[in-house]
Amino acid sequence: MAPMGIRLSPLGMAVFCLLGLGVLYHLYSGFLAGRFAFFMLSEPAAGGPETPHSSGAVDLRELLAVSVLAAVRGGEEVKRVRDGNDLNAKAKGKTREGAEEQLTSGDLLSNRKMFYLLKSAFPAVQINSEERVDTADQETVSWNRSIPEDIKQKIQPKEVPAESVTVWIDPLDATQEYTENLRQYVTTMVCVAVNGKPVIGVIHKPFSAYTAWAMVDGGSNIKARSSYNEKTPRIIVSRSHSGKVEQVARQTFGNNTVIIPAGGAGYKVLALLDVAEKNQEEADVYIHVTYIKKWDICAGNAVLRALGGHMTTLSGEEISYTGSDGNEGGLIASINMNHKALIEKLPDLEKTSHK
């Protein structure tokens, strides 16, 4: 019996408790739901799949894997068009030297495949390409997030801010040689720069299915050659520039200097490295004496840096892969050599680079 003769009804007490619980649920359900959602997003389930990276971060190992795949996929288009002799070549303009630049179906189809594969995998990353991307011709190309075993074994995950990354793609390097059916010079290339410095380079040769890749402070699937011949140094240059370089090169390195005219910046960088291919020439120094676009040289620059080599302007300045898409100062590239001494020998070529 309750005090003052008041009897408590069990049913009334139950209703009162239910009302109290309803008020508490209304007050705290939003808070608890928010905390639960935060917990679920922050902590992956044990044994479950890894959570995606935050939109502001990029894993360079994953970006390397996609870059290799993009170069190969683009190369497949390049080879298919050339094998079918369906180039549809046309002039797209002239170089500063007055030579006509060619554009083919191989350039365009490779560019579409490479650009949209990289963009779908890393939408927050800036991508610069040699060819214009037509949104009306957009292609859905997805990445299954698979990382090749050789990359897994040699490269550790490394995240960087997405806004610090710039990707440079060359969907078909050596287009002129491509139209002439000089297949050995043709490459597809992808480069990743972080804060303007090239850190990932991929150079793929579509007609031999050879792919070289490297990551600065990471690893690579290619090596530098161990030595060079000081008595008969070999200088590799663009086919169209061999006359400009030959006289000064012989004055610099001696009359026994061998000048190797070649097409494609990717091919010329590979000439400095240990590439076991019958169609790949070998050289000790790569020199380019005129203006050149950054998508032509970024991948090779990254590969050389990863292996301890150098690629600079002819005056010795590092090339930044931000801002404009062109490099005004020419270039000189070497590996396992005294790069500074090479630069000091080439004062006359630096003036030529601005013409």
Distances (CA, A) of 344 to 66, 105, 253, 352: 39, 43, 12, 15
Rounded Cα distance between 154 and 239, Å, is 36
Give me the pLDDT at residue 33, please: 40
Q: Which domains does the chain have, with CATH numbers?
A: 57-222 (3.30.540.10), 224-345 (3.40.190.80)
Query: For the chain, how many residues are written?
Result: 355
The C-alpha atoms of residue 190 and residue 239 are separated, in whole angstroms, by: 23
pLDDT at 254 over 90: no
Mean pLDDT on 55-70: 94
**Active site (catalytic) residues:** 107, 175
User: 350 a known binding residue?
Assistant: no
Other CB atoms within a 10 A radius of the CB of residue 12 amount to: 9
What is the reported pLDDT for 229? 73
Is 118 labelled a binding residue?
no
- Cα 337-338-341 angle, rounded to 5 deg: 135
Indicate if the pLDDT at residue 1 is higher than 60. Answer: no
Q: Note the Cα 337 to chain centre separation in Å.
A: 25
CA 252 to CA 313: how far, in whole Å? 17
Whether residue 130 is annotated as binding a ligand: the answer is: yes
- For the chain, what is the largest distance between any 2 Cα atoms, rounded to a whole number of angstroms? 123
Q: What is the pLDDT of residues 119-170, one digit of tens each?
A: 999 999 999 999 887 766 777 778 999 999 999 999 999 999 999 999 999 9
Residue type, 49: P
Give the pTM: 0.82
Spatial separation of the C-alpha atoms in residues 233 and 338, rounded to whole Å: 14
What is the per-residue pLDDT across 17-44, written as a single tens digit (0 to 9) for each?
A: 556 555 455 444 443 444 333 333 333 3
Average pLDDT over the chain, rounded to an integer: 84
pLDDT above 70 (res 326): yes
**Angle, in degrees to the nearest 10, between helices 60-83 and 105-121:** 160
The response to whether 170 counts as a known ligand-binding position is yes
172 is in an annotated binding site: yes
Distance in angstroms (rounded) separating the CA atoms of residues 31 and 208: 60
| Residue (of 186, 190, 51) closest to 118 by Cα position | 190
